[in-house]
Amino acid sequence: MGRGGLAGAGLVSNANIVPATLTLKYHFGKDGGVRPYVGAGPSYFIFIDEKPGATAVALGATRQKMGDSLGMAFQAGVDVPVNAKGLAVTFDAKRYVMRSTARWFAGPTEVLRTRHKLDPWVVSAGLAFRF
C-alpha cells in the first residue's frame, strides 16, 4: 500500500460531481438589511461521466469509476435585500470535504483502486425569498 500522489500521473481525465447538500444556516444582522450567514451540513456526492486519464489509458485502463460518497459542506455568504417583500440576492461560497474511492478497469477486471480526499470550493449567486 502506497501513500501520496504520483507527480505527473494523469489517472483521471474527467469526473463531474453532483453534490446533494443540506445545510443549516445562521444569519447575522437584522431582518430587512444585508445579512451575512454561515452554515454547515451533510452532502452526498454523486460522480458522473468519469473518464480515465492518459496515464491510466496507457497502462491499459478502459474505464474508470469514482465511488459516490457522503461528506460535509461548510458555507459562508450574504443575502442582500432587493425589496421589502423578502426578495434578496445571495452570494455564497461552500467548501466540501469528502473521501472517495477511484477504481480503474481493463475490460471487466479492476486493475487499480485508490482512495482520495477531495475538498472542492463552489462559489455561487442566486435569488432568495424569505417568508
Is residue 8 in some structural domain? no
Q: What is the pLDDT of residues 69-88, one digit of tens each?
A: 999 999 999 999 998 888 99
Judge whether 10 and 54 are in contact, CB under 8 Å: yes
Query: Considering only 64-73, 93-102, 110-119, which range has the smallest mean pLDDT?
Result: 110-119
The pLDDT assigned to 44 comes to: 95
The pLDDT assigned to 3 comes to: 61
Is residue 4 in some structural domain? no
Is residue 80 in some structural domain? yes
Is residue 3 in some structural domain? no
Is residue 6 in some structural domain? no
Phi then psi for 85, rounded to 5 degrees? -95, 10
**CATH number where 34 lies:** 2.40.160.20
User: Of 15, 17, 45, 39, which is closest to residue 27 (Cα–Cα)?
Assistant: 39
For residue 90, the enclosing domain spans 15-129
The pLDDT assigned to 5 comes to: 57
Judge whether 99 and 115 are in contact, CB under 8 Å: yes
In which element (H, E) is residue 111 found?
strand 109-118
CA distance 38 to 83: 23
